[in-house]
Amino acid sequence: MKKTEDVESSAATTGTESPCQACGACCSYSSNWPRFTIKDDAALDLIPEKFVNERLSGMRCEGDRCSALSGKIGVKTSCGIYPIRPEVCRTCMPGDPECEMARRRHGLPVLVAS
């Protein structure tokens, strides 16, 4: 499976849209999901404070939805901090088990490899 960055960059070069840009389910699955790792505090310091939760342990959520996500789930979404998003966001890949679980929760079909 390709990494999200690979999917995003290949979508940009081919003129096709990444399946993630028409989804957003993983970004609105659970307020506990977008937790930070402790690997790189310097990278976390780049995330604007308004998107970080009170415990400084993850992204601030509105219900189960990440506050950095804009758009409508399953239609068109985007991440307001995409270039500096946390590692947990970088590891969720289109069509992986976490993706499938989040898509099912929102009533979206699972992605089929092409």
Average pLDDT, the chain: 83
**Residue 19 counted as domain residue:** no
**Residue 36 counted as domain residue:** yes
What does the pLDDT read at residue 11? 40
**Residue 23 counted as domain residue:** no
**Residue 80 counted as domain residue:** yes
**Confidence check: pLDDT of 19 > 50:** yes
**Domain that includes residue 82, residue range:** 29-105
Q: Is the dihedral of CA 79, 82, 86, 90 positive or negative?
A: positive
**Confidence check: pLDDT of 7 > 70:** no
Provide the domain count of the chain. Answer: 1
**Confidence check: pLDDT of 37 > 90:** no
Side chain identity at residue 23, one-letter code: C
pLDDT band at residue 104 under the 50/70/90 scheme = very high
Beta strands in 8-105 (DSSP E): 61-62, 65-66, 69-72, 76-79
Mean pLDDT of 87-114: 89
**Residue 73 counted as domain residue:** yes
**Residue 75 counted as domain residue:** yes
